[in-house]
Structure 1
């Protein structure tokens, strides 16, 4: 499953050496392949900032957004559009009318 997920995320060429030869994927390579979002020397501060940003979005909304991301690669455009519009509608209803 790891090989499948890495191939989906980084492509076969990006992970070939790691899978075939056991070559570790170093942090800079993982960043270049978009396997990780960030590398930091101060994980506590970075995690606190991330938690604060994520705290602005409620749990249900976060789960919906994650699901949209995970399904995006395997969903037909028309289905994705419908889900996107539904997510926009939920967001607009949650924030209320604009002034």
Structure 2
């Protein structure tokens, strides 16, 4: 199984995996509008891969088979200042 991976020009670190290069028929129109013009990143053979960067390869394969696409969103950003304040027992709220 070879899929095509596209990145969004509108949303940073957002990728769309589809079954065939240039085939977006299975991707909902509202998603394509938010995603923006897709820019091809690579053709990716999935059958020989054990893992992907931040995506669960089994979820990618399942979504491609069931829905015809997989949307990879960026991981949530960690508020390191907030974590530090919590670890020090400091309250975020002003008096």
TM-score of the two chains, using structure 1 as the length reference: 0.23
Q: Which has the higher strand share?
A: 2
Q: Which has the higher helix share?
A: 1
